Amino acid sequence: MKLEDTVDAFVQGVRAESAPLGEGRLSGLTFGVKDLFDLADVVTTFGHPAWARTHPPAAATAPVVKSLLQAGANLLGKTKMVELGYGLSGENIWDGTPLNPQAPDRFPGGSSSGSAAAVAAGLVDFALGSDTGGSVRIPASYCGLFGIRPSFGAISFAGARALAPSMDTAGWLAAEAGVLARVGDALLPEGDGGTVSGPLLRLEEAWINARPEVAQALHPVIETMTERYGRAIAIRLVPEGLDTVYDHFSSIEAEEIWATVGAWVMAERPSFGPGVAERMDAAERLDPAVAAAGRVFRRMLQKRVRPLLAGGAVLVYPTSPCPAPLLTASLAERDAIREATIGVSAISSLCGLPEITLPIGSASGAPVGLSLCADHGRDRALLAFARETADMLGLPI
């Protein structure tokens, strides 16, 4: 029986499906794939009709997708995304914006919007997305899901369309902590990357940045976690301010996306939707010195944060400072939310760290998430820590 797409999560047209290529850890599970990962003989649209029109079908399936199929998972289709992955609300004026099943009057989050919508609606057990500056974590938070951005380089990004190659990762979303961990077992490198056992490091800049209703929704969870893991230690990581984090991240991202797709943009001069158009124009005009300063800041931030996490500590903070923006929000309102959000989400992106968001509760009638962030390479340990925490909090496992 054909799957009914009740939330407009999947790419229009012939559904790109694939039966499992073997049996393994993921046997019996279904999944969707963000439409920037290649499937053999299928056009990768990258969220834009002009890209689809000017690119041939893929010659091979992306290794990360093939690994999921070989582990026994059943692919039910490609999921929608923000055009070229360059947005955070989930809006796509060309393909249609997926519905947020947990808050239908709000955006689903992006750029992995279709992946989040498909999982939240129960259409698939998990979905593959990509995360550069929050594109898995933010839709997970907006749609009440678990989501992971793995350590940079932990999972192959071959066969995927790049946004900012020095920060792009292949992540995934699930409605249950156990499923999130099972996918990690199938994809992550074997070996001991170190433990994750605490202490909890409360990132004060992120808590101050959060709207009061979001902080209030998450505070009781931190109190419960301290009973298990000990007192949360308040730290300040970015005395320069989160605006500075956003500015430096955005400059690196803009330079890299223009280096990646700029030739195509100049040749085709495609139209872009609101927000994406302005960011792409800015990327074309970016002063190289600004991006160079961003890379200097990134190295400095890495030197600050990694020693703090080397012993197994965990950063804890709101995944997003606010719930998903309303569908009626103006572009200016959405841009303000995007900047406030990326000021926090870019920390793990710039430092190459694994981060997991937990679906903790709600604020203003919409889901909000709590992030756990560990040292580079401790992805398996962080997944185990997240599952233990989810069990303690009574979340789906």
Model confidence pLDDT, tens digit, residues 1-57:
468 999 999 999 878 999 999 999 999 999 999 999 999 999 999 999 999 999 999
Q: For 264, phi and psi rounded to 5 degrees? A: -65, -45
What span, in angstroms and rounded, lies between the C-alpha atoms of 143 and 106? 10
Q: Are 113 and 81 in contact (CB under 8 A)?
A: yes
Q: Which residues of 168-181 are buried (b: 16+ CB within 10 A; e: fewer)?
A: bbbbbbbbbbebbb
Q: Are 173 and 116 in contact (CB under 8 A)?
A: yes
Beta-ladder partners of 33: 78, 128
Which residues in the chain come in under a pLDDT of 50? 1
Model confidence pLDDT, tens digit, residues 271-290:
999 999 999 999 999 999 99
Q: Which amino acid is at 339?
A: E
- Report if pTM > 0.95: yes
User: Three-state SS across 331-390?
Assistant: HHHHHHHHHHHHHHHHHHHHHCCCEEEEEEEEECCEEEEEEEECCCCCHHHHHHHHHHHH
Predicted pLDDT at 14? 79
Predicted pLDDT at 3? 80
Give the chain's domains with CATH numbers: 1-397 (3.90.1300.10)
Predicted pLDDT at 15? 87
What span, in angstroms and rounded, lies between the C-alpha atoms of 339 and 391? 33
Q: Cis ω on the peptide bond leading into residue 156 (within 30° of 0)? A: no
Handedness of CA 240, 139, 185, 358 (dihedral sign): positive
- As given in the structure block, the two tokens for residue 360 are 């903790």
Reference 132, options 36, 48, 50, 242; nearest CA is 36
The residue assigned the tokens 């919409």 is 366
Report how far apart, in Å, the C-alpha atoms of 318 and of each of 73, 82, 210 are: 31, 23, 7
What span, in angstroms and rounded, lies between the C-alpha atoms of 368 and 359? 6
Residues designated as active site? 34, 111, 135
Predicted pLDDT at 1? 44
The residue assigned the tokens 């192959």 is 156
Predicted pLDDT at 180? 98
DSSP string, 43-54: ---TT-HHHHHT
Q: Are 98 and 82 in contact (CB under 8 A)?
A: no
